[in-house]
Amino acid sequence: MKLIFLGPPGAGKGTLAARAVDIIGVPHISTGAIFRAAIAAKSSLGLKVKAIIDSGKLVDDGTTIELVKERLTQTDAKKGYILDGFPRTIPQAEALATFSKVERVINFDIPDDTVVERLSGRRVCKGCGANYHVTFQKPKKNGVCDACGGELYTREDDKKEAIQKRLEVYRAQTAPLIDYYRSAGILVDVDARPQVEAVVANFKKAMGV
């Protein structure tokens, strides 16, 4: 099964992808992981990506497309994949269609105010990196990590102003893919508002598994 996961930051795509790997038996492929692997391998594309990232710029469409194309030729992706973070734009989707036929696109449907609540409430341990939430996963002692006793903090990109900016970028660049794939007849909406187990159940129902 060849899938794309669509949804704004905070929709839970990565969390469900980790579960979906076991449910449908295909790898979870994120652009971030592709970039890191290419950089670690010191391939020609990897060196190019490193130079772009080190300069503070975003990796361009052409380079991203080539990296994804290369990744999908690997053995573990022969039976299918879950693409997370790609495509981000209509041109990327059109390019993907030239080298791989996507069978289903899962759209994680969630309102902006729920995203803001989820992300702005996240707290991360400065010591071990453990994640908590002021509402959904509170530490035993306020501001202190249960695991290592480290200080909990709010990441810069989890501050409300940054979240709003990320949502604006998503709505402008990536949300048009929802109509693009819906018109192709392969988009399935999944309610991403409930807790993880309910979203997993919604996903299984949508996939018929």
Just list the catalytic residues. 13, 88, 122, 155, 166
| Residue 11 CB-density burial (10 A; 0-12 exposed, 13-18 middle, 19+ buried) | buried
CA gap 201, 9 in Å, rounded:
21
* Among the listed residues 186, 17, 170, the one whose alpha carbon sits nearest the alpha carbon of residue 96: 186
The contacts found for 59-62 with CB under 8 angstroms, 24 or more apart, are 59/31, 59/35, 61/89, 61/91, 61/92, 61/95
**Are residues 2 and 100 in contact, defined by beta-carbon separation less than 8 angstroms?**
yes
